[in-house]
């Protein structure tokens, strides 16, 4: 089965049952499976510096920092190729050192009660090439690169283009086009 | 009755008994036959050349239409990948709205990977064709008044959807009409020129014959050898 077909099945099933809500805790599994599909899709529209990958066979890694909200949503796509590289997913505890997190290409940061934790994590990743994603409120304002937001009838995402550029992470214009909001500079 | 070189007619008994078209043709003065012959040959060649030019132009224009539409379709397909992947139909329709600048394009559709209709575009005044377009395989085809093209939407080497565009053939029709009128104008001018040239040339041919006929007449009437 094609990779995009698998993603589509995941997303279709989730969109069929997922009722948008302002409280992600009401239907967390469906919402996060939907978001897992988004994370995989982000990989298709993102370019990292070549030196991030040791060689052409190096896998592309999605990391999840915090309590895993995705369940086994990534199972159908683990090992599948994204931009010519097999996908690997790692889950990290909240106390994982930054050096370990820097090994990921995309890091989803699970929101915590304390917003300073989020800021501390983002600060610790400065200078790395990790694409940071979260559904934490004001994630983009805190310096994150892609933040999930709830729009009227669907889940959207905001992009902090400048933060990504600083990390050497470049987004395709196709991704920027469909973003709910694109932040160009730090003071935006 | 036969024609003499000086254009006068003379009664002669036909031996083959065919007095129809051959008789009409034979009754024509030689100078007219020469002019008619030269003009006919020239105009046939000109018309044949003109038709060849029109056919060639039509084929070239169609090829250009296909190439231009393919480029436009490919650009739209590329711009729609994000919308298709993230399931944002409104954005795909916004992309398709860029077709408004091309009055030739009447319809466009984007189909998802599961072949369902994802986004559509229809020019405001386009009402005559079946709508929406039915999904087809990659390729293009000409119908009587339109060109329909389908191309896959690719992302990272994978087909994630299909885009179909329908372009009217108004430009092709206008181009053909222009070619025909141009050819007719050139044909008319060339016919006039050919006629003038034929009239001048027939004098070169008929003058010696005319002189010969006068001499023969003189010998016959006055026995002046």
Kindly report the CATH number assigned to the domain that includes residue B140: 3.30.450.20
The answer to whether the CB atoms of B82 and A174 lie below 8 A apart is yes
Position B225 scores a pLDDT of 67
Q: Is residue B2 part of a domain?
A: no
In this predicted structure, what is the pLDDT of residue A93? Answer: 93
Beta bridge partners of A158: A147, A181
In degrees, rounded to 5, the angle at the alpha carbon of residue A156 between the alpha carbons of residues A155 and A159 is: 150
Name the least confident of A26-35, A115-124, B178-187, B195-204: A26-35
3-state secondary structure chain A: CCHHHHHHHHHHHHHHHCCCCCCCCCCHHHHHHHHHHHHHHHHHCEECCHHHCCCCCCCEEEEEECCCCCCCCCHHHCCCEECCEEEEEEEECCCCCHHHHCCCCEEEECCCCCHHHHHHHHHHCCCCCCEEEECCCCCCCCCCCEEEEECCCCEEEEEEHHHHHHCCCEECHHHHHHCCEEECCCCC
Q: What is the pLDDT of residue B72?
A: 93
Range of the structural domain that residue B65 is part of: 56-174
Element (H, E) at B103: none
Residue B27 lies inside a defined structural domain of this protein: no
Give B220: exposed, middle or buried? Use CB within 10 Å, 0-12, 13-18, 19+: exposed
Q: What is the mean pLDDT of chain A?
A: 83
Distance, in Å, from the CA atom of A126 to the CA atom of A142, rounded to the nearest integer, reads 12
pLDDT in the model for residue A65: 94
Q: Is the ipTM of this complex over 0.85?
A: no
Asked, for residue A39, whether it belongs to a domain, the answer is yes
Q: Which residues of chain B neighbour A177 with C-beta distances below 8 Å?
A: 79, 82-83, 91
Please count the structural domains in chain B: 1
Cα A76 to Cα B196: distance, rounded to the nearest angstrom: 85
Q: How confident is the model at residue A89 (pLDDT cuts 50, 70, 90)?
A: very high
User: Would strands B105-112 and B158-168 be described as parallel, antiparallel, or unpaired?
Assistant: antiparallel
User: Do the domain assignments include residue A188?
Assistant: no
Q: Does A80 touch chain B (CB under 8 A)?
A: no
Is the residue at B128 inside a domain? yes
Residue A26 to residues A19, A32, A42, A156, B1, Cα–Cα distance (Å): 10, 11, 25, 18, 111
pLDDT value for A99? 93
% residues pLDDT > 70 (chain A): 83
Does some domain include residue A57? yes
Model confidence at A26: pLDDT above 70: no
Question: What is the number of structural domains in chain A?
Answer: 1
Task: Indicate the pLDDT class of residue A15, thresholds 50, 70 and 90.
Answer: very low
- Beta partners for residue B161, in sequence order: B112, B153
CATH number at residue A53: 3.40.50.2300
Q: Is the pLDDT of residue A132 over 50?
A: yes
Contact B129, B107 (CB under 8 A): yes
Least confident of A102-111, A122-131, B148-157, B203-212: B203-212
Question: What value does the mean pLDDT take over residues A36-60?
Answer: 90
CB contact under 8 Å between B113 and A4, yes or no, is yes
pLDDT at residue A179, rounded to an integer: 92
If interface means Cβ-Cβ distance under 8 Å, which residues of chain B face chain A? 78-79, 81-83, 85-88, 91, 112-114, 155-156, 158, 160
Low-confidence ranges of chain B (pLDDT < 50): 1-18
Rg (alpha carbons) of chain A, rounded to whole number: 15
Q: Which of A4, A11, A15 shows the shortest C-beta gap to B158?
A: A4
Mutating which of A85, A178, A179 best tests the B interface, going by the most B Cβ atoms within 10 A? Answer: A178
User: Got the DSSP string for B115-156?
Assistant: S-EEEEEE-TT--SS-SSPPP--SEEEE-SSEEEEEEEEEET
Q: Which residues contact B127 (CB under 8 A, 6 or more apart)?
A: none
- Predicted local confidence at residue B195, as pLDDT: 87
What is the C-alpha to C-alpha distance for residues B126 and B103, in angstroms, rounded to an integer?
Answer: 10
The four Cα atoms B189, B192, B198, B199 give a dihedral, to 10 degrees, of: -160
Structural domain containing residue A155? 3-183
Least confident window among A25-34, A108-117, B103-112: A25-34
- Phi and psi at residue A62, to the nearest 5°: -100, 125
pLDDT at A118: 87
Beta-carbon count within 10 A of B141 CB: 10
pLDDT at A24: 38
CA-nearest of B109, B113, B108 to B85 is B113
| Cβ neighbours of A15 in B, within 8 Å | 87
Residue from A8, A2, A27 nearest A17 by CA: A27
Mean predicted confidence (pLDDT) in A158-178: 93
Average pLDDT over residues A148-176: 91
Of the two residues A39 and B195, the one the predictor is more confident about is A39
Which residues 6+ apart lie within 8 Å of A100 measured at CB?
A92
The reported pLDDT for the residue numbered B163 is: 95
CB contact under 8 A, B82 and A178: yes
Q: How far is B117 from chain A (nearest CA, A)?
A: 15
Number of other CB atoms surrounding residue A106 within 10 Å:
24
Residue A18 has pLDDT above 60, yes or no: no
The answer to whether residue B167 sits within a structural domain is yes
- pLDDT class of A130 with cuts at 50, 70, 90: very high
Stronger pLDDT, B222 or A136, i.e. the higher one: A136
């Amino acid at each position: 089965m094609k990779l995009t077909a698998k993603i589509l099945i995941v997303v279709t099933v989730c969109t069929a049952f997922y009722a948008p809500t302002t409280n992600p805790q009401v239907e967390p599994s469906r919402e996060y499976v939907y978001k897992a599909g988004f994370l995989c899709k982000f990989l298709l529209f993102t370019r990292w510096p070549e030196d991030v990958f040791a060689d052409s066979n190096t896998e592309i890694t999605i990391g999840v920092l915090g309590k895993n909200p995705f369940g086994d949503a990534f199972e159908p796509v683990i090992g599948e190729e994204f931009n010519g590289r097999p996908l690997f997913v790692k889950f990290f505890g909240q106390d994982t050192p930054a050096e370990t997190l820097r090994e990921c290409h995309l890091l989803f940061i699970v929101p915590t009660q304390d917003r300073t934790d989020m800021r501390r994590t983002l600060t610790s990743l400065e200078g790395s090439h990790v694409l940071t994603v979260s559904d934490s409120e004001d994630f983009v304002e805190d310096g994150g690169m892609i933040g999930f937001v709830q729009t009227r009838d669907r889940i959207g995402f905001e992009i902090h283009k400048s933060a990504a550029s600083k990390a050497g992470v470049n987004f395709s214009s196709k991704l920027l086009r469909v973003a709910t909001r694109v932040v160009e500079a730090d003071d935006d | 009755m036969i024609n003499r070189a000086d254009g006068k007619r003379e009664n002669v008994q036909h031996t083959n008994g065919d007095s129809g078209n051959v008789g009409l043709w034979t009754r024509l003065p030689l100078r007219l036959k020469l002019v008619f012959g030269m003009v006919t040959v020239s105009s046939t060649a000109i018309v044949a050349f003109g038709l060849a030019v029109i056919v060639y132009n039509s084929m070239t224009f169609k090829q250009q239409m296909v190439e231009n539409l393919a480029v436009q379709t490919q650009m739209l397909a590329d711009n729609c990948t994000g919308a298709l992947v993230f399931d944002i139909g409104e954005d795909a329709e916004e992309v398709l709205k860029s077709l408004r600048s091309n009055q030739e394009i009447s319809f466009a559709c984007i189909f998802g990977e599961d072949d369902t209709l994802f986004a559509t575009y229809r020019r405001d005044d386009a009402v005559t064709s079946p709508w929406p377009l039915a999904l087809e395989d990659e390729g293009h085809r000409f119908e009587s008044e339109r060109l329909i093209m389908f191309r896959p939407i690719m992302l990272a080497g994978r087909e994630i959807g299909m885009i179909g565009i329908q372009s009217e053939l108004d430009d092709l029709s206008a181009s053909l009409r222009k070619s025909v009128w141009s050819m007719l104008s050139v044909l008319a001018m060339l016919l006039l020129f050919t006629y003038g040239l034929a009239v001048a040339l027939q004098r070169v041919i008929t003058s010696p014959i005319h002189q010969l006929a006068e001499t023969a007449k003189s010998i016959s009437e006055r026995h002046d050898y």
